Amino acid sequence: MGFTYDPLWKLLIDRKMTKEQMRTELKISPATIAKMGKGGNVSMDVLERICSRFNCKIEDVVQYIPTKE
């Protein structure tokens, strides 16, 4: 699988914020949010903006899921 952004989605729930609110506030494109929903790659700049906004660590945003071989 690679990566999951489930920690971010849980963080948004805890902060009572929608994905759309985060996207608008942090100027993240809809395509990037869609990539995140599918566990895709996003730029370090986007991850930095999210961590800065929520004053959190990267592991609070993204989690590595080892691929089964």
What span, in angstroms and rounded, lies between the C-alpha atoms of 8 and 13?
9
**CA distances (Å), 55 to each of 1, 34, 35, in order?**
27, 23, 23
Binned at pLDDT 50, 70 and 90, residue 68 comes out as confident
Q: What is the pLDDT of residues 4-42, one digit of tens each?
A: 999 999 999 999 999 999 999 999 999 999 999 999 999
Supply the CATH classification number for the domain 2-65: 1.10.260.40
* pTM for this entry: 0.89
**CA distances (Å), 67 to each of 1, 5, 37, 48, in order?**
5, 16, 18, 25
Domain boundaries, the chain: 2-65
42, containing H or E segment? none
- Residue 57's pLDDT is 97
